[in-house]
Structure 1
């Protein structure tokens, strides 16, 4: 699935398709592109995602930081666009991931909450439930 198609599955439109990694949808949910390798193993119907904004490069990181701050303040529901990359080490080193082979998919049955946010580090806890 294309990146923009994955966001569209949640009725979200990216502000800029070249650098945005998050967008709000028409239901008031925050949709974020998240790396598959940063998810924990599921525990029951719960799975967690850990990351930090300063690892993300470019204007998309500033937009993401503002969106996470808003999600934290408003207890906004978060929906995942899951990105699987051909080179995890490059992503972790901060290489421009748009130059890598990436695949995108959604989990429409996952609804997340920002459970930790310190202005950089963040944790999202997703619970599987019917959409």
Structure 2
């Protein structure tokens, strides 16, 4: 699935289909495309969740400024976060902050995941997702 198709599943569009990786939908939810390799399965008190851990300084693409602005806004309003899992054929390029738009990528919207921004310090961020029942 293309990234634009994945965003449309959450009833939102990217500001720019070439570089936007986050957008707010009409429900006020923040929709973000996140790399598969930065998700970690966690369990606490019998509850399983998926936590995404990353930092925006790892990459410098055109969508970075918009992403930072959207995380700032989400922090102030305790916004629900929705995710699209991005998978690539070359995770090493992503790890090094390279231009992932030139890679073979697929995008899978997780329509039944509800997320909450747990950590945001202007660089480091963590988003915890639980599965909706």
Question: Which interval holds the TM-score relative to the shorter structure?
Answer: over 0.9
Alpha-carbon distance, 1:59 to partner: 2.4
Which secondary structure does the structure 2 equivalent of 1:32 belong to?
Answer: strand
Paired with 2:51 and 2:22, the residues of 1 have a C-alpha distance of 18
1:55-66 aligned at under 5 Å gives the runs: 55-66=58-69
Q: How does 1:1-131 map to 2 (within 5 A)?
A: 1-43=1-43, 44-130=47-133
State how far apart, in whole Å, the 1-side matches of 2:96 and 2:89 are: 14
Deviation at 1:127, TM superposition (A): 1.0
3-state SS in 1 of match to 2:34: strand
When the two structures are superposed, what TM-score results if normalisation uses the length of structure 1? 0.95
CA-based RMSD of the aligned residues comes to 1.0
How many equivalent residue pairs? 130
Gaps of 5+ in 2: none
- Tell me how far apart the structure 1 counterparts of residues 123 and 98 of structure 2 sit (CA, whole Å): 19
- Could you tell me how far 1:41 is from its partner in structure 2? 2.0
Structure 1 stretches lacking a partner, 5+ long:
none
Alpha-carbon separation, structure 2, partners of 1:73 and 1:7:
23
**Alpha-carbon contact 2:41-2:48 (below 8 Å) kept:** no
Whichever structure has more strand as a proportion of its residues is 2
